[in-house]
Amino acid sequence: KVKPLLEEKEGKTFDVFTAVEFKTQVVAGTNYFIKVHVGNDEFMHLRVFRSLPHENKPLSLHSYKSSKTKHDELTFF
């Protein structure tokens, strides 16, 4: 669900978009920190927010970091 959001922000499409690791942080909803393989040796770290169920809002791509590698630690940001 967040792939089109990232593609729009980056202005390009990703042929490969595979989540390889994630962490969660409970706030007034849930933050998901996701390491995504986007092709070749390139990875991106995404911060995706899911609101509480009663708010009935879609997932949102809060922020992201590009130019990451497979071995970069996934941290909260």
- Give the Cα separation of 14 and 30 in Å (integer): 25
Q: Is residue 59 part of a domain?
A: yes
- Give the Cα separation of 23 and 33 in Å (integer): 5
Structure pTM? 0.86
Q: Is residue 74 part of a domain?
A: no
Q: Is residue 76 part of a domain?
A: no
Q: Is residue 34 part of a domain?
A: yes
Provide the CATH number for the domain around residue 60: 3.10.450.10
The number of residues making up the chain comes to 77
pLDDT in tens, 25-73: 999 999 999 999 999 999 999 999 999 989 989 899 999 999 999 999 9
Q: Is residue 41 part of a domain?
A: yes
Q: What's the structural domain count of the chain?
A: 1
What domain range is 44 assigned to? 1-69
